[in-house]
Structure formats: C-alpha cells, structure tokens
Chain A
Amino acid sequence: MTTISEFLAPDHKRCDDLFAATEALVASGDWDGAAEGFSRFQEALQHHFAMEVEVMFPAFEARTGMTQGPTAVMRSEHRQMSDLLNQMSGALARKDGDAYLGDADTLLIIMQQHNVKEEQMLYRMADRALANELEEVVGRMRAMT
C-alpha cells in the first residue's frame, strides 16, 4: 500500500527537476527549448496542486475538521506560486531572461519551503488521519492524469 508521503513527495522532486532544466535552458538562451521545458514544468506543478486541492486536502479536512489549519496555508502558497508561474510565462513570451530568472529564484525559495512543510508536517499528519482510506485517496490522485 502506498502512503500519501510516498506518493506525493517524489512528485516534488519531479517538479524540481523540470524547474532546474528549464532554468538552465533560459540561462543559455535556448528559447524554444525553454518554452517547451516551461510548459512541462508548469503542467507538472499545476497537476501536483490539483491532486492536493481536489483530493487530498478535502479528504483531510473532512476527516479532521481542520479547514483553517495547514491546508489553508498550503492553498495560499499555491496561489503565490501560481502568480509567479504566470509572471514567468509572460517573461518567457517576451524572451526576457532576467525577469524569468528573477522570478524563478523567488519561486524556488517558496516552492522548497512549501515542500519541506508538506513533507515534514502535512503529509505525515494526513497519513495518520487518513490511515483507513489511504488506498482510496491515493487511488483517486493516481487516476488524475
């Protein structure tokens, strides 16, 4: 049986890899490669957010009754990251490397702090709270492709 930690934590790493690859392409001035890399990165990150916001958070909130707790903080950080993604997409369209790399630097810090909080706190809490329905919750997230 896969836990929420085991399922979602490796997905962070996948997003990090796509982030780093795209950043390197922008830095080297390969705009076509960067556009493709960015769309894969953006898709991966939004997909990760969707799995949490549509499946895992509601299940956790329903089980624990905590709607204003950790999940609210995570949602607001998702919004911050989505805003930055939009700005980066704009910078990419303008081929403005400095603007892209500046926003990428910012996004990386937020993303990493966010991941640490999820991996060390929220996922562990969710694994405990949802112990009896792990298979079902992870199954629903896996089905979202």
Chain B
Amino acid sequence: MNVPSGISLDQAPPIWVPLRFFITAPLFALTAALLLLWAGPELFSSRWDPAMLGITHLLTLGFMGLVMLGAILQMLPVVAGTPVRRPALVAAIVHVLATSGIILLGSGLILTAPLALQIALPTLGTALLLFATLVVVTLRRSLPQNMTARAMRLAALMLAATVLLGLTLLSNHAFGWWLQARERLADLHLTWGLLGWVGLLIAGVAYQVVPMFQLTPAYPARLTRWLAPVLFILLLALAPARHLPVLWSTLKILLAAGFAVFALTTLWLQTKRRRKQPDVFMYFWRCSMLSLLSAITLWLAAQIAPAIGGMRGYGMLLGVLMIVGFAMSIMNGMLYKIVPFLVWFHLQSRRGATGPAVPNVREIMPESRTRRQMWLHFAALAALLAAIVFPSPFVYPSALLFGASNLWLWLNIVAASRTYSRVDALLGKASTSAG
C-alpha cells in the first residue's frame, strides 16, 4: 500500500514544471485582447469568422489549456498517489509543443495562413494527445474512492475526444478539403471541450478545493459519485443523437440541469462555510458559478423562445459567459492559491530546519494586488458582455480592460516567481556558507 504524499518533496514535481505553464498562459489572453483592440467591432460579427476562431483558441488553449495542463501536472502525483516519471522532461515537451502549436494555430487562423495550420496540426495534436494519455494512464493507479481522480480521468478522455474533433476541423482549414459535417463537428467540438474537458475537470477539482479553502461542508457523496460519470455519458450520447430531435433536446436539458446542480451546490456550500474571511478565491468562484448559471438560463430561454436563440450575439454571449466568466474566473482564482503555495512550499522544503526565514503566502502574493486585478477581471467580463450587445461604445474599453487584467495577472505571477528565485539564491548561499 502506498500513501499519496502531496507535500513531500520526492513526490512533488520541480516548481518550474507547473510554473512555466502558468507564466505563459496570461500572455495568450493578453494577445487576444490586443487582437480585439486591433480588429475592433467588426470582430463580433460572427463566431465562425476565422479571426474570431483564432482569438477564441488563444483563450481556450492558450490561457485555459496551459493553466489546466500545468495544474494537472502538479496535482497528478497527489491525486494518483505515485509521481509522474521524468516530470521536468514531460513538462518541457508538452509545454514547448503546446505553446508553439497554439501560436501556429492562432496566427494561421487570424492571418489565413494554411502552412501555419499544417504545422500546427501535428504539433498541437502530439502535445495534447500525449498529455491526455499520460493523465488517463497515471490515474489508473488512483484509489477507487477518489472522486476527483475519477472526474479528472473522464475529463482527460473528453480532452482526447475534443482534440480529435479539433484536428479534423483543423485539417479542413489547413488543406481546404470538403467537410460536409463541419458545423455539426464544430458544435460537438466546443460542447465536449467546454462542458466535458473544462466542466468535468472543474467539478472534480471543486470537490477538493472548495471545502479545503473555505472550510465548507463536503459536497454530498451522491453528487461526487454520480455527477461526473452521468455528465460524461450524456456528452458522449450527444454524438449519435443528432438525428433524433427529441433525444437530442432531452440530453441537452439533462446536461444543463446537471451543471446547474453543480453550480447551485457550490454556491450553497459557500454560504455554509466556517471560514468567514472572504478572499479573492471565493469571489472568483462565485463569479464563475453565477456566469455558469447565467449561461444556462440564457440557453434555456432560447429553447423556450427560439427568437432569443436567433438574436445577433446569442452564441457570443454564451461563449463569453462560459469562457471568460465560468472558466477563466476560476483559473484566475486558483492561480492565486496555487502559485504562492508552491513558492512557499519549495522554499520551505529547501530551507530545512534552519536557515533564513521564508516569506509567507501573503508576502509572496499580496492580497492588495490580487484584489485589484480581480475587480479588473470582473469589469472586463461585464464590458465584454456589453460589447456583444452594443459593439460600438464597448468594444475598445472591453479590450483594454481585458488586456489590463491579464497583464496584471501575468505581473503577479512573475513577481511570485522572482520571489522564489531571489529567496532560493539566498538559501543556496546560506547552505554553502554553513557547509
């Protein structure tokens, strides 16, 4: 029998394994904001516009994808109970391939450059499929009662399915062959990506971190046992159900209900928290759950009144609520817990019993800075939503706010990494002079 020890150094991967992903991610969101600034209100005309697709992928793959990859590489040994072999090498391969693939994909779509897309195809495909395989295989060793591991594994399977669909669509853009089912595949690709890969992963991680950081009661056992597998099966069933309208709508309504249950349970648990100190982490989660519920409500309204679904900007509103509101908010909040803790933990472990004092997590990531960045993110979200409905007055302010928020997030992460390097050098000096 083996006990997972998330907190002993021989199990935790080197700090740069997750950090290299976290430092790169906000730069992609910043680039997306600059592109929005450059393209102006035109961009919001259609979500199928190649430039819009490019920008969307800078957010979903560039920001969200990299944050999730880094966080999972950090968490895998804890969740699975055994370390990943050669973590620094795995991280380097996945990070370099994914980052160059995302740059190629983004520029290929935005500049309509088929050659860039043709190179992006094997690059991104290798990085993401390699990663999905690593997660599925590693988590085989996790304990059956570990519901986070289970959800994470299902999410990784959804990642693989999303990537395979994405590669098919990408090859269509890159080589210009005739793909009859393009729109249907694209629909499935974004549903599996956002609800399957991102949604299931967030649910699985929430089971651990919401009770842990706010001292809320645990999620109900029935929910953690059934929610992820049921959502997974519903998502899979969408593929063959396309031609059966009744089944198709039933599946979608059940999916919406499942995610609504998750969001409402999370908000309800937070009201029962025993730790009354409100912090940025909690506000980010709240914003995320409210965005998810708003997206579900908007979608439901469109099912009841098709005129709403036909409105200009309907799909974009759902996209911004799910991507910027639901996913990016949580990841932003999680980064503010993960990064300072990792810096503290690695420094503390190096320090040993004696040696210079190590700064605490609030000194590494001061709340005054994270709180202001959080308000900027909320303002950016509101402005982006407004820009979809009223493009001309809101597009430029929303791009500026979104860019500023991500630049600030990046600066906060870089500052924490520099604190690590600085104190690490001090510790090195202290240990050589002591030895």
B interface secondary structure, majority: loop
Interface pick from A33-41, A42-50, A99-107 = A99-107
Contact residues in A for B7 (Cβ distance below 8 Å) = 77, 80, 110, 113-114
Give the contact stretch, choosing among B83-91, B232-240, B358-366. B358-366
Instruction: Determine whether the beta carbon of B361 is less than 8 Å from that of A76.
Output: no
Assembled-state Cα–Cα distance A101/B365 (Å): 13
The interface on chain A, measured as residues whose beta carbon lies within 8 A of the other chain's beta carbons, has a size of 33
Asked if A99 and B360 sit within 8 Å, CB to CB, the answer is yes
B361 lies within 8 A of A105 (CB): yes
The contact of B362 among A16, A98, A112, A114, by CB within 8 Å, is A98
Q: Which residue of A lies closest to B145 (CB)?
A: A120
Q: Cα distance A76–B1 when bound, in Å?
A: 19
Cβ of A137 under 8 Å from chain B: no
Q: How far is the CA of A114 from the CA of B274 in the complex (A)?
A: 19
User: Which residues of B sit under 8 angstroms from A80, Cβ to Cβ?
Assistant: 7, 348
Q: CB-CB contacts of B1-38 with A at 8 A, as 1s and 0s?
A: 10111111000000000000000000000000000000
How many angstroms between the C-alpha atoms of A117 and B337 in the bound complex? Answer: 20
Contact of A23 among B8, B275, B344, B363 (CB under 8 A): B275
Say what secondary structure dominates the interface of chain A: helix
Query: What is the interface residue range for chain B against chain A?
Result: 20 to 34
The answer on a CB contact under 8 Å between B3 and A73 is yes
| Closest B residue to A103 using CB positions | B360
Cross-chain contact B5 with A117 (CB below 8 angstroms): yes
Beta-carbon contact of A101 and B362 below 8 Å: yes
Q: Smallest distance from the beta carbon of B426 to chain A beta carbons, Å?
A: 18
A109 to B215, alpha carbons, bound, how many Å? Answer: 11
Residues of chain B with a CB closer than 8 A to A69's CB: 1, 3
The distance in angstroms between the C-alpha atoms of A76 and B6, with both chains bound, is: 12
Given A106-B344, A108-B213, A113-B7, do A120 and B360 touch, yes or no (CB 8 Å)?
no
A46-93 at interface with B (beta carbon < 8 Å): 69-70, 73, 76-77, 80, 87
Partner of B361, one of A106, A112, A117, A122: A106
A144: interface (CB < 8 Å): no
Contact indicator B274/A125 (Cβ below 8 Å): no
Residue in contact with A20 in the complex, picked from B145, B208, B274, CB distance below 8 Å: B274
Q: Are B363 and A24 in contact (CB under 8 A)?
A: no
In this assembly, does B277 line the interface, its C-beta being within 8 Å of a C-beta of chain A? yes
Query: Does A131 have its Cβ within 8 Å of any Cβ on chain B?
Result: no
CA distance A24 to B275 in the complex (A): 8
B341: min CB distance to chain A, Å: 6
9 CB contacts below 8 A, A to B, read A19-B275, A73-B8, A76-B8, A87-B360, A106-B344, A106-B361, A108-B275, A113-B78, A121-B143
5 A-B pairs besides A98-B362, A101-B362, A108-B275 with CB distance below 8 A are: A16-B215, A17-B274, A24-B275, A73-B3, A80-B7
